[in-house]
Amino acid sequence: EVVMTQSPATLSVSPGETATLSCRASQSVYTNLAWYQQRPGQAPRLLIYASSTRAPGIPARFSASGFGTDFTLTISSLQSDDSAVYFCQQYNYWPPRTFGQGTRVEIK
Amino acid sequence: VQLLQSGGGLEQPGGSLRLSCAASGFTFESHAMSWIRQAPGLGLEWVATTRGSGGRTSYADSVTGRFTISRDNSKNTLYLQMNSLIPEDTAVYYCAKDPLYDNSWYAVFDYWGQGTLVTVSS
């Protein structure tokens, strides 16, 4: 099973600033990596697939990169409704499809 | 796209429950469908996936032999039959669909149901 590890656990950022989230895989997943946003009380929402491709309707403020074992999600010009937990998910080796434990982004 | 879930609730250990997920707004039979769960305050755990047609299924080790994922393409509905429930199955369960982008299948989840709480307790 591929273990996904996210850091930091919590990130506190001021509005208008940039948040950088990390996700590391226990073995190479190439570019088979997705990112999700989960706001409180809601289902997750797909942001990014194939490591860096935005899902339809996702604003350009969300960008991502990475290959192999190390991946980054960058959220620029942070807004209040970006307050959420962000999860990464690998789909290179499945079953099982595995998620990271999440990074909570708080807006100061 | 809409995924409308039903079922769930409180069940005793050893009991059974069935979850349903009614899909609309897309060609249901063309898409793999999955169940994912989230224990209270915790992260996401993939549970099971069924391919669009042909009946191929995959399960997490934690539910293999106890849960069965199925679909009725004539009713555009996904199911999760959960037997031999244990307290560790307590979670919000989501159904979700896999996308096709440029006719390529990606094993991610682009639309999710609203979630349904399953509580296993005596």
- A-chain residues near B49 (CB < 8 A): 95, 97
Residue B57 pLDDT more than 80?
yes
User: pLDDT tier at B104 (50, 70, 90 boundaries)?
Assistant: confident
| Cα B80 to the center of its chain, rounded Å | 6
Confirm or reject contact between A71 and chain B (CB < 8 A). Answer: no
Asked if A94 lies within 8 A of B113 by C-beta distance, the reply is no
pLDDT at B103: 85
Q: Which of A23, A27, A25 is nearest to A8 (CA)?
A: A23
Q: Which of B43, B72, B108 is nearest to B80 (CA)?
A: B72
The pair of three-digit structure tokens given for residue A27, joined into one six-digit string: 């073995």
Residue B113 pLDDT more than 70?
yes
- Among A91, A98, A102, whose Cβ lies nearest the Cβ of B108? A91
Q: Give the distance from residue B66's alpha carbon to the nearest chain A alpha carbon, in angstroms.
A: 16
pLDDT at A78: 97
Confirm or reject contact between A104 and chain B (CB < 8 A). Answer: no
d(CA B2, CA B25): 6
Asked if A49 lies within 8 A of B58 by C-beta distance, the reply is no
Residue B108 pLDDT more than 70?
yes
Weakest-pLDDT range from A62-76, B51-65, B67-81? B51-65
In DSSP terms, B88 is beta-bridged to: none
Residue B101 pLDDT more than 90?
no
The answer to whether A22 and A16 are in contact (CB under 8 A) is no
Q: Give the distance from residue A55's alpha carbon to the nearest chain B alpha carbon, in angstroms.
A: 8
pLDDT at A42: 96
A14-68 per-position pLDDT tens digit: 999 999 999 999 999 999 999 999 999 999 999 999 999 999 999 999 999 999 9
DSSP state of A97: P
Mean pLDDT of B2-20: 97
DSSP state of B111: E
Q: Where does residue B12 rank: exposed (0-12), middle (13-18), buried (19+ CB within 10 A)?
A: exposed
Burial B42-57 (b: 16+ CB within 10 A, else e): eebbbbbbbebeeeee
- Among B43, B60, B108, whose Cβ lies nearest the Cβ of A101? B43
Which amino acid is present at B74? S
Confirm or reject contact between A99 and chain B (CB < 8 A). Answer: yes
Confirm or reject contact between A32 and chain B (CB < 8 A). Answer: yes
Residue B54 pLDDT more than 70?
no
- Among B46, B94, B106, whose Cβ lies nearest the Cβ of A96? B46
d(CA B21, CA A76): 35
Mean pLDDT of B8-31: 97
Mean pLDDT of A3-12: 97
pLDDT at A95: 93
Q: Which of A1, A14, A4 is nearest to A75 (CA)?
A: A14
Map tokens 């226990």 to a residue: A26
